[in-house]
Structure 1
């Protein structure tokens, strides 16, 4: 077996592994969406972000298989990350909100339809969580008002959750 055939087999194995990883992560996100009463559209966004990361890793592995020098690859990846970092620096709050929404999605105890009180030293806010989006958490108060809280602020606040007995 010559080296080209070996590279083709290794590339096929990486692509098969990538497809299997896509299936596993999709099922994991779907299971999390179903268990946490989060909107399905939110799960789609999380899937896209995870798929983008997986695709990038798969692409880098394939480049290494086909003989791209690792030092050249590291310089290329470092340059791309630097340019993206500089380009997105002005948008740090958007990135912060997206990261916070991912944390809320997977790890926060507050779910849809929970009644919560956001404890703030100046102003307490009480309401029912009506939506958890990528950028905002939306509360509906007893008076029927809608309050939108940026995800990065929501994750920083102390929250009292009403527990049904």
Structure 2
């Protein structure tokens, strides 16, 4: 068996390992989700993050199998992170919305389906949280209007949390 055939076989084994590990971790996460009675939206997001991390690890293994040098990988990653850093620095509000979105998702008492009232002297907004995204939180008002508010604004304002009237199934 020559080097090229060995690399193809190792790549196939890595792909099979990813499929098996992805399925096993998915089942474990599903059990945790059911035992802790978490929201479906949060489970989907955690599942996506699991897949991204798993695919990145598999990519590193495959690049190593195919003898891509560490210097080339480091050059690519550092170039990508530099461009990303410049972009985020140029759009500071974008970075603050992402950070606020993560904090809202992990630590804020308001969750999808909760009724909230954003207390602001210029714009008083009340409604049910229909989605918490990476940049915006979506609120469905009593008039069935969909309002999106930047996460950083929700994070900075006082928010009153009440009972839910939002129906997650539609």
TM above 0.5, yes or no, is: yes
String of CA shifts for 1:56-109, please: whole Å, max 9, x gaps.
332222112222222332122211221233244434433543454354345533
Say what the alpha-carbon RMSD is for the aligned residues: 4.3
- What is the TM-score normalised by the length of structure 2? 0.60
- Structure 1 residue 113: Cα displacement: 3.0
- What is the TM-score normalised by the length of structure 1? 0.61
Counterparts of residues 41-120 of structure 1 (less than 5 Å)? 43=44, 47=48, 51-118=51-118
Between the two proteins, the alignment pairs up a number of residues equal to 159
- Consecutive unaligned residues of structure 2, counting only runs of 5 or more, are 165-170
- Consecutive unaligned residues of structure 1, counting only runs of 5 or more, are none
> Contact conserved, 2:115 with 2:129, CA < 8 A, in 1?
no
Query: Could you say which structure has the greater relative contact order, defined with CA pairs below 8 angstroms and 6 or more residues apart?
Result: 1
Name the structure 1 match of 2:128: 129
